[in-house]
Amino acid sequence: MIDFTLHRASAILAVMCLFGAAELRGDDLEFFEKKIRPVLAEKCYKCHAADSEKLKGGLQVDHREHLLAGGETGAAIVPGDIEQSLLIESIRYHNEDLQMPPKEKLSEEVVKDFENWVTAGAPWPEEPVPERDGEAAGESFDLKQRFEEHWSWRPVEKPELPQVTQSDWPRSDLDRFILKRVEDAGLEPAEEADRQTWLRRVYFDIIGLPPTQEQQTAFLNDTSEGAREAVVDELLASPHFGEKWARHWMDLVRYAETYGHEFDYPIANAYRYRDYLIRAFNADVPYNDFIIEHIAGDLLEKPRRNPENEVNESVQGTGFWYFHEATHAPTDVLGNEADIMDNQIDVFGKTFLGLTVACARCHDHKFDAISTADYYALTSYLHGSARQEVPLDPGRMREKTRSKLSALKEKADALIDPEVTSPEKVAPIRDGETVYESFSDGKIPAGWSTSGVAFSGTGSKPGIRFSAGDSVSAPGKVDSGLYGEKQVGILRSPTFTIESEFIHLLVRGRAKEIRVIIDNYQMARFSGLLFNGTVRKNLDTEGEYNWITMRSELAKYGGHKAYLEFSDAGNGSLIIDEIRFSSSKDAPELPLTGSQSALPAAAIKLVKEGLELEAALPKPEFAVAMAQGTPESAHVYVRGSHNSPGKEVPGRFLEALGGETGDRLFFANKVADPDNPLTSRVIVNRVWHYLFGRGLVASVDDFGPMGTAPTHPELLDFLASEFVEKGWSIKTLVREIVLSSTYRQSSELNPDVSPGYFAGVDPDNLLLSKMPVKRLPGEAIRDSILAVSGELDARLSGPSVPTYKTRFMTGRGGKKSGPLDGDGRRSVYGAVYRNFLSPFMLTFDVPGPFGPKGRRSVSNVPAQALVLMNDPFVVEQSRKWAEKLDQSKADHSEVIRRIFLSALGRDPRESEREHLEQFLKSEVEGGATKVDALADLVHVVMNMKEFIFIH
């Protein structure tokens, strides 16, 4: 053997010498000059030569050396081996991702010439190697330099408080930073907004709803020193706080309840994540913990539990990874996975770090200190994870029941004679068949993982299982019914590489779903197209052991990665005995299973006792979440192509921020580390953006070199440091800002400042010498309409209300229409169907759920006027409000006052009152009923600009 290898190696060496530059034969040379070089020059040099204007793919083809060195995808030729030569692959035009020349396939004859040339060792005459000028010095990617040059990578440093002239103006330290710049610019801060204006402002900014008449009166009558603080504290404690701030976060994580694409399939239980957010914001979960829950909440040893029902909250944060779009039947499942990961990384990078990490998918970032290796290091975490429908366990009922049943089982098992069951016989293993797992030691095997409490190993001895009529457990299996039929759980195999056509599972019982999940592709449960036989739903073997055959379509998916997932949703149980990978589509023989003897009476009694306990278990609940899969080092996809895998990179944090490797929880902690310069800056800037309508860094999702520079860098760092010092509390930060002098300003320029001067020094009000006017977001507009009409149903949480479907909302995957008024629920509870988004919300710039959106656009278009003028919802609410007003005994003047207080948060001015009274009077005189006239009147008020613009 050794001899042979040596011979072969020297033979190759000999060939290489033979066709090396020195020993070229004449006819080879002629062939090259006639058939090869002219084609290269004509078809390739434009993009692949020393003098190409722009070198494509890093490849030069104007010298053999360059061809051997290759470009970004590797060596262009392997002399003597046409199958390994990318140049040949590309001109053959068989690979859709690699076709050259790009516009036109070379003739078969020319392709043949190139094949012959490469087979002959790719002879090339001796000549100087043409090199490009200054290439290396030019645009090379220097991560360190970029890291050093850009502001947002610098550590957060708490600055000194600036000295200001009007030292009595600041109430909060943050005011000093604002005032300093205002004074330096020769401006004056605006006067304080009147109390009514401020009140309306804080209500919308903190809870997204207008103050009621009673709330206004209470505040205006409270002349005490701490009146504003009291209002703010009350609002921060209101459960509506979470509804308002959760919606901001939902924009970032492209929250949606369907997958979009052709059939808009549902993302089941998405709303649990929305409710998790609402609770988390209401509980003011420290932001660093909140981040860790999002990235690795499933891995926490001590998860945060809901104080009321002890449900694991932390794991639900990981749901955000999975609100991506998804299509059924992708012809290229690995490419599909790569696209989904791109979206996940985009959301992750922008949301938490304000970084456009996803820009480094195909090449090192063009501007920022982020390499392609950084990007693919993050994909390692995604490759090594699994999407799961995690069972929730309110009251920890399932967990507690299991431990009670576990104690009973221990007692009962002791009563069973280990020899009761006769030995089992294994079915013969056929050609082309391997046993993947036989669970012979009766444990969940290493590398396998579970969610929920249902699945466990049956151990090495017979025992009992809590199942009526099927209560003897044989050893050497995995069983989801050992602790009751109503328990729920998931069992996942490690990731394996598909090498056989069929997977035979020897199972008994019932399961909600068994899946072969290929390249993390989740959609086969909706459509079997291209994934036929990879999903088995509502399995029932009718009490007998049976072989279930899954297909892994070797022809299509051979070499792809996959894992098995078994789901028991609490409706029966599943015993898994053995798993085989096989080339045969026919199931193996059914083995002889051990016969069971009757249980002793004492054991039967214990089983009964357990079954009674188990009967009390409630219907199971699930949430979308991440689970740990088999850890993996991802390949860099060269130039973004999954067909060109490059070097491996393990999961690690961005190199610019240390680049340490570790598991996903380690990584989450790195993101939430106080020393990470981006995380705290990004979140305080977001809060500032939501309260002032513009961030200190205007590009809230992009802190990179292509983003905007901070207007107040010291203030940003001051807020970020304080935020961390004060325990990462969003509520504390909101409180600090809304009680500041800066936020209290009127939206009018200070009368002492001339508008001309202001327009000259700060036309965009970047220095905040007055409060910006803000248009309400779509949700607040709709919620306001419901609030003033008295139709708002203020209940919290729960499944979403289906979108009201107009007749313009057609297309595939259509859902049943919801009610016109959305059941009166707040807009945050309206369903988000990707292909059927609410036209009302879209008109008012509620973003489509496709990528992170920290800054919504604020458009100003006639369609908005048409909605408020003619939308049946608005008209209906006007009428409902009018009907209530009509019941009142108050005179017109008082009714008008109430309308203004509800809708605009202020009393009507005299002239306004006169106009409205006149309108009512003349409408009624013209023959309208009072309720009709009132409906028209309140409809007009809802159309006032002041209704949707907040001062």
Partner 1 sequence: MLRRGAMGFGGVALQALMADSASGAIVNPLAPKVPHFPAKARNVIFLYMDGGPSQVDTFDYKPLLKKYNGQDPREVIGKLAPTQFDNVGKVLEAQWDFKQRGESGNWVSDLFPHLAQSEVIDELAFVKSMTSKFSEHTFANYFLHTGSAFQGRPSMGAWTGYGLGTENQNLPGFVVLNGGLIPPGGLDCFGSGFLPASYQGSVFLPKAEPIANIHRQEKTAEEQIRKLDLLRELDGGAVREAYPDPQIEAAIQNYETAFRMQTAVPDLMDLRGESDAVKKLYGLDADFENTKTFGLQCLLARRLVERGVRFIELTCPSGNGDRWDQHKNLVDGHDKNCKTVDQPIAGLITDLKRQGLLDSTLVVWAGEFGRTPFAQGGDGRDHNPFGFTIWMAGAGIKGGACVGETDEFGYKAVRDRYEIHDLHATMLHLLGIEHTQSTFRFSGRDMRLTDVHGHLIDGVLA
The helix/strand count (H/E) of the chain reads as 36, 19
Q: Which residues pair with 682 in a beta bridge?
A: none
Fill in the DSSP letter of residue 457.
E
Query: Residue from 284, 317, 923, 934 that binds partner 1 (CB under 8 A)?
Result: 923
Nearer to partner 1, 155 or 927 (CB): 927
Contact assessment for residue 771 and residue 193, using Cβ atoms and an 8 Å cutoff: yes
Q: Distance (Å, rounded) from C-alpha 430 to C-alpha 433?
A: 5
Query: Residue from 125, 558, 819, 872 that binds partner 1 (CB under 8 A)?
Result: 872
Q: Contacts with partner 1 in 843-862 (CB under 8 A)?
A: 843, 845, 848-851, 857-862
Nearer to partner 1, 121 or 210 (CB): 210
Contact assessment for residue 624 and residue 267, using Cβ atoms and an 8 Å cutoff: yes
Nearest C-alpha neighbor of 764 from the set 843, 708, 846, 684 = 708
> How would you class 828 by CB atoms within 10 Å of its CB: exposed for 0-12, middle for 13-18, buried for 19 or more?
buried
DSSP of 93-145: T-STT--SSSS-PPPHHHHHHHHHHHHTT-----------TTHHHHS---HHH
Instruction: Report, in Å, the least distance between residue 834 CB and partner 1.
Output: 7
Query: Residue from 4, 5, 22, 103 that binds partner 1 (CB under 8 A)?
Result: 103
Does 934 participate in binding partner 1 (rule CB under 8 A)? no
Nearest C-alpha neighbor of 855 from the set 695, 707, 720 = 695
Fill in the DSSP letter of residue 896.
H
Each residue 556-575 as x (binds partner 1 by CB under 8 A) or -, in order, gives x-------------------
Q: Contacts with partner 1 in 757-776 (CB under 8 A)?
A: 773, 775
Nearer to partner 1, 277 or 530 (CB): 530
Contact assessment for residue 342 and residue 359, using Cβ atoms and an 8 Å cutoff: no
CA atoms within 13 A on the CB side of 391: 25
Stretch of 140-148, 437-445, 682-690, 921-929 lying at the interface with partner 1 (CB under 8 A): 921-929
DSSP of 354-386: ---GGGGSSSS-SSSS--HHHHHHHHHHHHTEE
Q: Contacts with partner 1 in 242-301 (CB under 8 A)?
A: 260-262, 264
Query: Residue from 863, 888, 891, 929 that binds partner 1 (CB under 8 A)?
Result: 863
Angstrom distances, CA of residue 283 to CA of 47, 276, 312, 668, 874 = 58, 10, 14, 21, 34
Contact assessment for residue 190 and residue 175, using Cβ atoms and an 8 Å cutoff: no
Instruction: Report, in Å, the least distance between residue 805 CB and partner 1.
Output: 11
Nearer to partner 1, 31 or 93 (CB): 93
Contact assessment for residue 546 and residue 504, using Cβ atoms and an 8 Å cutoff: no
Q: Contacts with partner 1 in 513-532 (CB under 8 A)?
A: 529-530
Query: Residue from 919, 924, 930, 931 that binds partner 1 (CB under 8 A)?
Result: 919
Angstrom distances, CA of residue 370 to CA of 137, 234, 568, 651, 835 = 19, 44, 42, 15, 34
- Triad 88, 93, 98: Cα angle to 5°: 80
Contact assessment for residue 513 and residue 567, using Cβ atoms and an 8 Å cutoff: yes
Does 907 participate in binding partner 1 (rule CB under 8 A)? no
Does 132 participate in binding partner 1 (rule CB under 8 A)? no
Does 747 participate in binding partner 1 (rule CB under 8 A)? yes
Q: Contacts with partner 1 in 679-708 (CB under 8 A)?
A: 699, 701-702, 704, 706-707
Residue 853 structure tokens: 């959106």
Instruction: Report, in Å, the least distance between residue 152 CB and partner 1.
Output: 12
Does 663 participate in binding partner 1 (rule CB under 8 A)? no
Nearest C-alpha neighbor of 444 from the set 453, 433, 431 = 453
Does 949 participate in binding partner 1 (rule CB under 8 A)? yes
Does 221 participate in binding partner 1 (rule CB under 8 A)? no
Query: Residue from 875, 898, 924, 931 that binds partner 1 (CB under 8 A)?
Result: 875
Query: Residue from 89, 175, 337, 339 that binds partner 1 (CB under 8 A)?
Result: 339
Does 313 participate in binding partner 1 (rule CB under 8 A)? no
Nearer to partner 1, 165 or 911 (CB): 911
Counting other chains too, the contacts that 791-795 makes at CB distance below 8 Å and 24 or more residues apart are 791/821, 791/824, 791/877, 791/880, 791/881, 792/209, 792/824, 792/826, 793/823, 793/824, 793/825, 794/240, 794/826, 795/825
Query: Residue from 220, 592, 866, 890 that binds partner 1 (CB under 8 A)?
Result: 866
Q: Contacts with partner 1 in 63-102 (CB under 8 A)?
A: 93-94, 96, 102
Nearer to partner 1, 12 or 863 (CB): 863
Stretch of 9-17, 270-278, 590-598, 840-848 lying at the interface with partner 1 (CB under 8 A): 840-848
Nearer to partner 1, 200 or 735 (CB): 200
Q: Contacts with partner 1 in 343-362 (CB under 8 A)?
A: 343, 346, 350, 356, 359
Q: Distance (Å, rounded) from C-alpha 951 to C-alpha 946?
A: 8
Nearer to partner 1, 297 or 851 (CB): 851
Stretch of 200-208, 660-668, 801-809, 890-898 lying at the interface with partner 1 (CB under 8 A): 801-809
Q: Contacts with partner 1 in 317-336 (CB under 8 A)?
A: 325, 327, 329-332
Instruction: Report, in Å, the least distance between residue 94 CB and partner 1.
Output: 5
Does 367 participate in binding partner 1 (rule CB under 8 A)? yes
Tell me the site size for partner 1, rule CB under 8 A.
95
